[in-house]
Amino acid sequence: MGKITKLEDIVSLCKRRGFIFQSSEIYGGLASCYDYGPLGVELKNNVKKAWWKAVVQMRDDIVGLDCSILMHPLVWKASGHTDKFADLIAECKKCNVRTRVDHLKERVEEAAEEHTKHVSIESAMARAEDLSNKVCPNCGTVGKFTEPMPFKLMFETQMGANVDDSMTLYIRPETAQGIFANFRNVLDTTRVKIPFGIAQIGKSFRNEVTTKAFIFRTREFEQAELEFFCEQGTDEKWYEHWRRARFKWYTDLGLKKENLRFREHEANELAHYAKACVDIEYRFPFGSGDWQELEGIANRTDYDLRQHQRGMRTVNKWYENNRDLTNIELADEAGDFEKGPLSYFNDEQKKRYIPYVIEPSAGIDRSALAFLVDAYDEEMVRGEQRNLLRFHTAIAPIKVGVFPLVKRDGMPEIARNIYDDLKRYFNCFYDEKGAVGRRYRRQDEAGTPFCVTVDGQTIKDNTVTVRDRDSMDQVRVSTDKLVSHLREKLDL
């Protein structure tokens, strides 16, 4: 195996081969925003497909959803985001650069592990009392900070053209709330019975104070979230189930076990409503500690559905307040709250309750970065360096490269026919330019698991070579068995 991958190697490969570009690059770029190029969009789509397959397609107890990014302002009041979704920041008095207080390091603890979780403002405040020994990451000045202050992470926008009906909306900072807001719709229109889950993949936006490390932390990103509803008392069992299932998803798709670990949240890190939370961390090649969150799995109890039920009871008050959230308190849980619209009725037990929820919440871009980093390899082959991405077949952007050995003797025509046939099943790439060895190397670098080459023998006996990216071994396969051969190898 090759050397330890550096992030620069990945960034340079991504740019060179069209995986990921800086957004608006021709205008000098827009910080922390990235565009996925021709190979990158395939990679990202494959990550999403693999998640959807494991979480929705292969399960009888989970359905999907695709919610709008803009939602009613009360959604974010009920979820707690309008009041609490903020990072505590301090400004360096010397260089005026603002940093998240929980990212500041003591002069002596620079090598210490960095945990970058958004923590509640209360617990950040408690931990942030003493900044006198903290170092400004921008200019290196020690202990010259303003008082810590909260910085809101949600982006705002204006909806509507008319002064009297326009209003301020938030661009969603997570996809989960769309699921809670549709809990009743899903119950009423499908046959789901508790325990069941609702899954969604979509874009989220956070005005992060510090962005970093390529696509690891950006202001626009994609999440894959599952809300799994269950009865109180069975929640711990389901929490265990999802921890295991989600960890296995990454290893099944080829991430090396030694680069993955669980990190349990300490009691003082937990949001007040969460009963338990664990991160699946990956050993990224950056940061001081390297281990960074890929996904969080939380036991969120019945908090969210309760909050939205309170939110629903607040709608009239919000209208009376000229559709303004300022100074509005959520309605309380009076009366028959447990039997409200977001409760669940168990037919057999004749019991009504507000379900608990287990939430595995993953980042698609972070997973894509982990798949890239983990797959990257360099090795020496006959005195030449070979760069390759050892992607799992489900993740590889291109599944099969198809080449004529040379551009004559009818080989390109045969190769084109094979390509036209194969592309009905897999994402393929046809290439007839330059020496075949170079074409193999280009596909190795794109992570293509197999290359099919038409050569002189094809014309005689209708066989082609199929070359394996990892071993570089070649086998001859008859053209009429090619689709089934590749299907089996690719497991598609």
Which of 294/354 has CB closer to ligand ATP?
Answer: 294
Maximum C-alpha span of the chain: 84
Query: Closer CB to ligand ATP, residue 220 or residue 379?
Result: 220
255/411 with CB nearer ligand ATP: 255
**Cβ at position 452, least distance to ligand ATP in Å:** 36
362 belongs to the binding site for ligand ATP (CB under 6 A): yes
Alpha-helix runs per DSSP H in 313-360:
315-320
**Beta carbon of residue 10, minimum distance to ligand ATP (angstroms, whole number):** 16
Alpha carbon distance 86, 80 (integer Å): 11
Does 218 participate in binding ligand ATP (rule CB under 6 A)? yes
Structure tokens at 64: 């999907």
Partners of 404 in the beta sheet? 454
CB of 50 to ligand ATP, least distance (A): 15
Q: Which of residues 115-134 bind ligand ATP (CB under 6 A)?
A: 116-118
Q: Does 227 bind ligand ATP (CB under 6 A)?
A: no
Distances (CA, A) of 386 to 284, 319, 392, 445, 446: 22, 64, 18, 8, 12
Token duo for residue 267: 């009691």
Q: Which is nearer to ligand ATP, 116 or 427 (CB)?
A: 116
Chain position carrying tokens 């969120």: 300
Pairing of strands 155-159, 450-454: unpaired
Given the complex with ligand ATP, which of 9 and 174 has the nearer CB atom?
174
Q: Could you tell me which of 16, 107, 128, 116 has the C-alpha nearest to residue 441? A: 16
Q: At CB < 8 A and 24+ separation, what contacts does 453-458 make?
A: 453/402, 453/403, 453/404, 453/405, 453/415, 454/402, 454/403, 454/404, 454/405, 454/411, 454/414, 454/415, 454/418, 455/405, 455/411, 456/405, 456/409, 458/411, 458/414
Contact (CB, 8 A) for 400 and 446: no
The answer to whether residue 293 forms part of the interface with ligand ATP (CB under 6 A) is yes
Could you say which of 17, 134, 172, 206 contacts ligand ATP (CB under 6 A)? Answer: 206
As beta bridge partners, residue 225 has 200, 361
Q: Compute the least distance from the CB of residue 76 to ligand ATP, in Å.
A: 14
- What is the number of the residue whose Cβ is closest to ligand ATP? 363
Q: Select the residue interacting with ligand ATP from 361, 443, 448, 465 (CB under 6 A).
A: 361
Q: Which stretch binds ligand ATP (CB under 6 A): 50-58, 106-114, 251-259, 292-300?
A: 292-300
Q: Which residue of 82, 120, 223, 453 would you call a contact of ligand ATP, by CB under 6 A?
A: 223
**Whole-number Å distance between alpha carbons of 242 and 261:** 15
> For tokens 């009906």, what's the residue?
165
CA gap 258, 45 in Å, rounded: 26
- Is residue 478 classed as helix, strand or coil in its secondary structure? strand
Tell me which residues in 162-181 interact with ligand ATP (CB under 6 A): 174
Dihedrals φ, ψ of 76, to 5°?
-80, -20
Query: Interface residues for ligand ATP in 367-406 (CB under 6 A)?
Result: none
**Min separation Cβ 293 and ligand ATP, Å:** 5
- Cβ–Cβ < 8 Å for 168, 320: no
Q: Is the CB of residue 105 less than 8 Å from the CB of residue 134?
A: yes
Contact (Cβ atoms closer than 8 angstroms) between residue 489 and residue 471: no
- Residue 5 interacting with ligand ATP (CB under 6 A): no
User: Which of 9, 208, 235, 281 forms a contact with ligand ATP (CB under 6 A)?
Assistant: 208
**Residue 453: CB minimum distance to ligand ATP, A:** 40
Q: Quote the CA–CA distance of 214 and 217 in Å, as a whole number.
A: 7
Pick from 304, 341, 301: which is nearest to 188 by CA?
Answer: 341
How, if at all, do strands 276-283 and 291-299 pair?
antiparallel
Piece of 21-29, 218-226, 250-258, 452-460 that binds ligand ATP (CB under 6 A): 218-226
Taking CB under 6 A as the rule, does residue 99 contact ligand ATP?
Answer: no
**Applying CB under 6 A, does 100 fall inside the site for ligand ATP?**
no
* # binding residues, ligand ATP (CB under 6 A): 19
Stretch that binds ligand ATP, among 110-118, 125-133, 187-195, 250-258 (CB under 6 A): 110-118
366 binds ligand ATP (CB under 6 A): yes
Q: How far is CA 352 from its chain centroid?
A: 35
Closest CA to 19 of 369, 440, 390: 369
444 binds ligand ATP (CB under 6 A): no
Residues of span 21-40 touching ligand ATP by CB under 6 A: none
We find the least distance from the C-beta atom of residue 173 to ligand ATP, in angstroms, to be 8
Two tokens, residue 123: 């617990």
**53 versus 117: smaller Cβ distance to ligand ATP:** 117
**Closer to ligand ATP at the Cβ: 118 or 184?**
118
Which of the residues 303 through 332 are near ligand ATP (CB under 6 A)?
A: none
CB nearer ligand ATP, residue 276 or residue 452: 276
Distance, in Å, from the CA atom of 451 to the CA atom of 446, rounded to the nearest integer, reads 12
Binding positions for ligand ATP, rule: CB under 6 A = 116-118, 174, 206, 208, 217-218, 221, 223, 293-296, 361-363, 365-366
